[in-house]
């Protein structure tokens, strides 16, 4: 399950799925952004959807650069690939039509000058594993902490409002989960316990 940190007119910003995390937070970290509507490629978005999504991408990117010490002197890679969903071994097994199987999403990949990950060496193109190795490749890679995410969401809202004149910050309203502390859209928090969907699922499990 991917934790949704914030959601608004431009789409939603998530932590990477723990099973397929690409970059440890200390090596630069990673966020995943989905557009406001499920489409296979950005050419399928309307003009308004495309503008809103790209403002959210840029504001989130600015927030990463502005708030994360591990990205001091670093940069970002914008990775929109969606290849594994097209692998013949992916469910449902067999050949895939990209327009049906692909789900457009944008990875924001932090590139730290001090990365110790061989796949994410500063000054080099990143290395991506084969489809069959995607889970072992992700082992031990940690997402951003809850406090890092609180700062990321707050800075994203300010950039949207002040730099991109989205006066209501695209309608983004998030607050920390009462259990894990990660920012969560207000609509997703339990009205009584203030727990996020993942923490509620843990209690049920």
Q: Which residues bind Zn ion (CB under 5 A)?
A: 177, 179-180, 196, 199
Instruction: State the Cα–Cα distance between residues 56 and 59, nearest whole angstrom.
Output: 5
* Minimum distance from residue 169 beta carbon to Zn ion (Å): 22
Residue 146: CB minimum distance to Zn ion, A = 9
Least CB distance to Zn ion at residue 181 (A): 7
CB of residue 196 to Zn ion, shortest distance in Å: 3
Name which of 32 and 199 has its Cβ closer to Zn ion: 199
- The residue (of 117 and 188) whose beta carbon lies closer to Zn ion is 188
Of 103 and 203, CB closest to Zn ion: 203
| Rounded least distance, CB 62 to Zn ion, Å | 26
Task: Looking at the chain, list the stretches that DSSP marks H as alpha helix, in order from N- to C-terminal side.
Answer: 47-67, 98-101, 134-138, 146-162, 197-204
| Angstrom distance (rounded) from CA 150 to CA 159 | 14
CA nearest to 19, candidates 118, 159, 170, 135: 135
Of 15 and 63, nearer to Zn ion (C-beta) is 15
For 37-60, give one letter per residue: b (16+ CB within 10 A) or e. eebbeeeebeeebbebbbbbbbbb
Backbone angles phi, psi at 83, to 5 degrees: -85, -35
Q: Phi and psi dihedrals of 91, rounded to 5?
A: -70, 140
Q: Which residue lies nearer to Zn ion by CB, 36 or 183?
A: 183
């Amino acid at each position: 399950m991917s934790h949704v940190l914030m959601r608004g007119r431009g789409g939603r910003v998530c932590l990477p799925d723990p099973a397929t995390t690409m970059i440890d937070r200390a090596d630069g970290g990673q966020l995943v952004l989905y557009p406001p509507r499920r489409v296979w490629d950005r050419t399928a978005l309307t003009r308004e959807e495309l503008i809103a999504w790209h403002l959210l991408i840029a504001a989130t990117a600015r927030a990463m650069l502005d708030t994360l010490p591990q990205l001091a002197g670093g940069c970002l890679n914008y990775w929109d690939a969606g290849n594994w969903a097209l692998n013949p071994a992916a469910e449902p097994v067999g050949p895939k039509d990209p327009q049906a199987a692909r789900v457009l999403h944008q990875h924001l990949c932090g590139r730290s000058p001090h990365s110790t990950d061989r796949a994410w060496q500063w000054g080099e193109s990143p290395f991506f594993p084969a489809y069959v190795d995607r889970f072992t490749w992700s082992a031990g890679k940690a997402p951003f902490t809850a406090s890092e995410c609180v700062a990321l969401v707050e800075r994203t809202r300010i950039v949207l409002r002040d730099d991109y004149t989205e006066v209501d910050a695209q309608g983004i309203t998030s607050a920390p989960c009462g259990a894990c502390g990660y920012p969560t859209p207000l609509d997703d928090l339990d009205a009584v316990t203030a727990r996020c969907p993942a923490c509620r699922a843990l209690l049920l499990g």
